[in-house]
């Protein structure tokens, strides 16, 4: 039996999909972990990024720290958090350790794009808003954030795809997600199992990307709808372009 038919057999075996360790449960677990991390990163990243873009203060320090943090490998981070004895124990804390790691991975693109999106609002538009008597908060909520939304959404998309792909690592610290089959297959030299797990991760990441792409379209106000090319041209070197899955 050749390799591809082994993979096909593994994927079409019903018992591999159902049950506590089946693919369905793994997908659910992977999506839960990713959702927690991305939602938390959106709250923190958009909040902080928009504030920096709005005031123009402290951005250098914060953005560079966030980007420097990306140099830490996720695998090292998740292991470190999982084995350290202070906050959470490995037995009950695998999910928490993985969520913190994924959060750290998701924040930089979201933070950077929120900052760039708000900062790059046309100064004439901002000036008109201030001159008509908007308060600082009204300017941010009613003008800057809505106009930054397409760029913010591009950052969220990048972050979500990275997180969904990288959340595979959580299996190493005891979260039974799609990484489970990858690590199990490596341990038992079952390449078909490893490959099946990896394939599932790739497909899931692509589906999440497609979902967020349509969400981004739906929430973009009609008057500001631009092509991807325009977003790229308007963006700066700082901006995180949506480049597909990593990790």
- Is the distance from CB of 36 to CB of 42 less than 8 angstroms? no
Residue 218 is a binding residue for another protein (CB under 8 A): no
Residue 223 is a binding residue for another protein (CB under 8 A): yes
Among 7, 39, 62, 130, binds another protein (CB under 8 A): 130
Closer CB to another protein, residue 137 or residue 237? 137
Q: Please work out the total of residues on this chain that contact another protein, with binding judged by CB under 8 A.
A: 20
The CB-of-220 to another protein minimum distance in angstroms stands at 9
How far is 94 from 99, CA to CA, in rounded Å?
8
Residue 131 is a binding residue for another protein (CB under 8 A): yes
User: CA-CA distances (angstroms) from residue 78 to 46, 164, 205, 218?
Assistant: 24, 15, 20, 35
Residue 153 is a binding residue for another protein (CB under 8 A): no
Contacts with another protein in 65-124 (CB under 8 A)? Answer: 122, 124
Alpha-helical runs (H) found in the chain: 3-12, 23-55, 59-69, 74-83, 90-119, 123-131, 136-138, 145-166, 179-187, 191-219, 228-234
| The one segment of 77-85, 129-137, 153-161, 196-204 that binds another protein by CB under 8 A | 129-137
User: CA-CA distances (angstroms) from residue 36 to 21, 39, 216, 219, 230?
Assistant: 21, 5, 19, 21, 31
Angle 179-187/23-55 helices, nearest 10 degrees? 120
Residue 6 is a binding residue for another protein (CB under 8 A): no
Among 9, 18, 65, 127, binds another protein (CB under 8 A): 127
Residue 128 is a binding residue for another protein (CB under 8 A): yes
| The one segment of 92-100, 177-185, 202-210, 222-230 that binds another protein by CB under 8 A | 222-230
Total length of the chain: 247
The residues of the shown chain that bind another protein, judged by CB under 8 A, are 122, 124-125, 127-135, 138, 143, 146-147, 221-224
């Amino acid at each position: 039996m050749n390799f591809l038919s082994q993979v096909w057999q593994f994927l079409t075996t019903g018992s591999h999909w159902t049950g506590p360790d089946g693919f369905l449960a793994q997908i659910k677990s992977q999506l839960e972990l990713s959702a927690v991390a991305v939602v938390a990163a959106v709250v923190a990243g958009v909040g902080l990024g928009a504030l920096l873009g709005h005031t123009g203060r402290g951005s250098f320090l914060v953005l560079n720290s966030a980007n420097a943090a990306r140099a830490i490998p996720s695998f090292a981070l998740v292991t470190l958090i999982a084995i350290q004895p202070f906050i959470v124990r490995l037995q009950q804390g695998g999910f928490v350790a993985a969520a913190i790691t994924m959060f750290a991975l998701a924040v930089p693109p979201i933070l950077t794009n929120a900052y760039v999106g708000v900062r790059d609002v046309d100064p004439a538009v901002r000036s008109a808003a201030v001159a008509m008597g908007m308060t600082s908060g009204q300017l941010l909520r009613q003008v800057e954030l809505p106009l930054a939304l397409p760029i913010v959404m591009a950052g969220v998309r990048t972050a979500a795809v990275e997180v969904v792909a990288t959340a595979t690592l959580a299996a190493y610290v005891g979260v039974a997600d799609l990484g489970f089959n990858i690590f199990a297959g490596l341990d038992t030299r079952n390449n078909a199992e490893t490959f099946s797990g990896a394939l599932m991760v790739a497909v899931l990441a692509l589906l999440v990307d497609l979902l967020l792409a349509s969400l981004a379209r739906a929430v973009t106000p009609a008057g500001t709808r631009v092509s991807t090319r325009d977003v790229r041209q308007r963006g700066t070197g700082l901006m995180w372009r949506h480049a597909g899955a990593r990790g």
